[in-house]
Amino acid sequence: MLGQADHPQIAGAAFGAGRSWGDETVGRLGRSALSWRVAGILFLVGAEAVLYGFSYPFFSLALEKRDLANWAVGLNASFAGAGILIVGPFLPRLIDFFGLRRVVAGLFAISLLSFAALLVFDGIAAWFLSRLVMGACFAALWTTTEIWLNGTVEERRRGRIIGAAMMIYAGAQFLGPLLLSATGPVGWTPLVAAMIPLALGVVVALSIRSPATHVEDVPGGKSENLRLAVSFAGALIGAAFLAGVAETSMQSLLPLYGLAHGLSDAEAARLVALFSLGEAILVGVLSLVADRYGRRRMLQLCAIPAVVLALLLPLTAYSFALLGPLLFLAGGTISGIYMLAVILIGQDFRGQRLAVISTGFAMAYSAGSVVGATPIGLLVDVFGPTALPVSIAVSFLGLAWFVTLRPSWAARDAAMTGADFVQDNAPPYSFADESEAVDVEQAEIGDLQVWDDRQRKERDLEKWFLERASEATRRAAQRYQAGADRLERAEAHQPGKRQGQLRKNKAA
């Protein structure tokens, strides 16, 4: 009879294969659940972007129809821009208390109620209050969905998925004005049209179930560790501020820059479109390159092309054919810097620290957006249109300083302060060399191939073992049945030999 002692390697392989089958099934189910979570969060990103793109022209046109002065319309728009600065300080604590799923669903629900309130109350005060609440909610949704996605994605696909999210966000923003053009800014139709994606956002957010190890369920840690985390992310927060300065300045002052260099109104308007198109498309390319060749290295390298592109703007300003492609590349570079910083935050931080750093990152970007255009516009008034690209170039020189010198200081401070943060957040934030990223990815592919070969061999061994075990069991059953038959015959015909036959059967 074949036993495990006779072929321990086969038996062990068989039982190991059984466990690997279970692990493989669990792995497939886990990957499927993860894919659904990521898809749900990407839907939430798109829904928020549609409403963000819808709300700006909707409020401006609706208030203009009420004969409001231009300064009042601008004041209403500033309420939305200041949203993250109002709600940002409270976000980490809200996430820690309620969890990301409930916070995101609540933000969608509050935004929906703000639009619904305008169906009931039509006073100017209601429009300003609703805009303030909506601006805070949209800004918080921008941050919380970013945190949620960053804490959910697999590490080796982080860059690609974050890049896809940014492309979805940019593309969905274009759908907002198209939706408004279909509904118009007057009456109940635009309000109801805006409430539909918000209601879907509530349902989708509540339907996303997170594993126990998800970001929202990880404890926040000591407050001193949180402060140390902020110091470690100082380079990324500085990058967010400078990206906000550059992006807002380019989008708001580019048309004036084009007009000052003899471009027509239509061509000057297309400059912003080309800049935004680069932001939407090139982030996908940069995310793939970053996953393959190293994210920190790409962030460092993106600062240099941004400086060069900004300095080349005055040389191409009089030719739309040359200026357009340059702005396309500049938009992709600036948006890529933001995206790479977001990826690195998700790579280096977990739990409540991820919420704290992401919120600080979003607040820094918004602060750069608020304060950036005004001083640069003043410089343009004083020194002429060339001050715009020069100011942007200086900003990105500052960014290059942040991402090359500041990390080494952070690593030195970590060594002096203690190992708590490093132990809780391995690896700590530092610009370690990622030149081996390609080899790591190839090694992962090789490991997967070896794993597939091993599983195939284990399945073959298990099949062989089960076949032999079945044959041995069948033969044992035949021997037992033959012994039982002989015993019955002995009892029936030769009662005197019964004991001897029993002993013979036992010996057999």
Q: Are 229 and 425 in contact (CB under 8 A)?
A: yes
Tell me how long the chain is. Answer: 508
Distance CA 240, CA 337 (A): 8
Distance CA 307, CA 310 (A): 5
Q: Are 367 and 85 in contact (CB under 8 A)?
A: yes
Note the pLDDT of residue 213.
Answer: 42
Question: What digits encode the pLDDT tens for the residues 197-240?
Answer: 999 999 999 988 765 444 444 444 444 444 555 565 677 777 78
Most confident listed range (18-27, 165-174, 489-498):
165-174
Q: 61-66 long-range CB contacts below 8 Å, 24 or more apart?
A: 61/180, 61/185, 62/127, 62/185, 62/186, 62/190, 63/124, 63/127, 65/185, 65/186, 66/124
Rounded average pLDDT over 71-81: 69
Q: Are 235 and 337 in contact (CB under 8 A)?
A: no
417 Cβ contact partners less than 8 Å away, ≥ 6 residues apart: 228
Q: Are 299 and 340 in contact (CB under 8 A)?
A: yes
* Cα end-to-end distance, the chain, whole Å: 12
Note the pLDDT of residue 496.
Answer: 53
Q: Which residue has the higher pLDDT, 2 or 473?
A: 473
Question: What digits encode the pLDDT tens for the residues 175-194?
Answer: 877 788 788 888 888 889 88
- Least trusted range by pLDDT, from 83-87, 134-138, 143-147: 83-87
Note the pLDDT of residue 499.
Answer: 61
Question: How many Cβ atoms sit within 10 Å of the Cβ of residue 26?
Answer: 10
**Statement: the pTM of the whole predicted model exceeds 0.75:** no
In terms of phi and psi (left: phi > 0; alpha: psi -120 to 50; beta: otherwise), the region of 210 is beta
The confidence band for 337, taking pLDDT boundaries of 50, 70 and 90, is confident
**Taking 90 as the threshold, does the pLDDT of residue 123 lie above it?**
no
